[in-house]
Amino acid sequence: MNLIFLGAPGAGKGTQAENVSEKYNLPAVSTGNMLREAVKNGTEAGLKAKSYMDAGDLVPDEVVIGILKDRIALDDAKKGFILDGFPRTVEQAEALERMGVTIDKVVNIHVSDQRIIDRMSGRRVCADCGASYHIEYKPTSAEGVCDLCKGSVVLRDDDKPETVLARLKTYHEKTAPLIEFYESRGKLRTVEGQIEINDTTRLTFEALEK
């Protein structure tokens, strides 16, 4: 089973992708996490990606598509995978189709812009393993320490308020057209993002069973 999570930055794609990953035992593949890792390690892809990420823009397709292709070719993705943050443009969705990847369902998590802006200020991420948290809705057990790997949990550079607005603009211009793209293919399942994460998780599982 191959799934995609769509939604604005901060809508909860990463969190729900992790939940579905556990339940269905499929790897969650986050291009954002892979790009942050590449930046941290100073790889060629990371060097190319950094300035775009810092500005809230999309990283060029040739960088992202290459990373994604290599990841889904690994053994653990043979039985299926959950994409979080890819595709982000119609061109990327078409590239997936050209790779021969069949998508079973696309979960679109809808959250209003105002709520996104409110939420992003409380979002935190583990600098080591990429796990996502929120100071109010999904806090770590010990402050600033990742529950999973004990790494430090930090505010992402691109979650700073000025960058969040740029990322939302990018989302509306370039990513939102994918809603129509997957709707027309009969794959789209829209979930209204809830205040409580567990409520969104329940709706997500229901949407996957439809």
Q: Return residues touching ligand AMP (CB under 6 A).
A: 9, 31-32, 35, 52-53, 56-59, 64, 85-86, 88, 92, 158, 167
Annotated catalytic, 189? no
The residue among 12 and 85 lying less far from ligand AMP, judged by its C-beta, is: 85
Where residue 131 falls (left for φ over 0; alpha for ψ -120 to 50; beta otherwise) is beta
Q: How far is the CB of 166 from ligand AMP (least distance, A)?
A: 9
Annotated catalytic, 13? yes
Give the three-state DSSP class for 195: coil
Q: How far is the CB of 129 from ligand AMP (least distance, A)?
A: 14
Q: How far is the CB of 58 from ligand AMP (least distance, A)?
A: 4
The residue among 163 and 204 lying less far from ligand AMP, judged by its C-beta, is: 163
* Residue facing ligand AMP at closest CB distance: 32
Of the residues 36, 105, 119, 123, which is catalytic? Answer: 123
**In the chain, where do the E strands start and end?**
2-7, 28-30, 81-84, 105-110, 123-126, 132-134, 153-154, 188-192
Of the residues 13, 36, 105, 124, which is catalytic? Answer: 13
Annotated catalytic, 98? no
DSSP single-letter state for residue 88: -
Is the previous residue joined to 87 through a cis bond, with omega within 30 degrees of 0? Answer: yes
How far apart CA 180 and CA 203 sit, in angstroms, is 21
Annotated catalytic, 156? yes
Of the residues 71, 105, 119, 167, which is catalytic? Answer: 167
How far apart CA 157 and CA 163 sit, in angstroms, is 8
Q: How far is the CB of 199 from ligand AMP (least distance, A)?
A: 22
Annotated catalytic, 167? yes
Give the three-state DSSP class for 128: coil
How far apart CA 83 and CA 17 sit, in angstroms, is 8
The residue among 58 and 111 lying less far from ligand AMP, judged by its C-beta, is: 58
Q: How many C-beta neighbours within 10 Å does residue 1 have? A: 14
The residue among 55 and 202 lying less far from ligand AMP, judged by its C-beta, is: 55
Catalytic site positions? 13, 88, 123, 156, 167
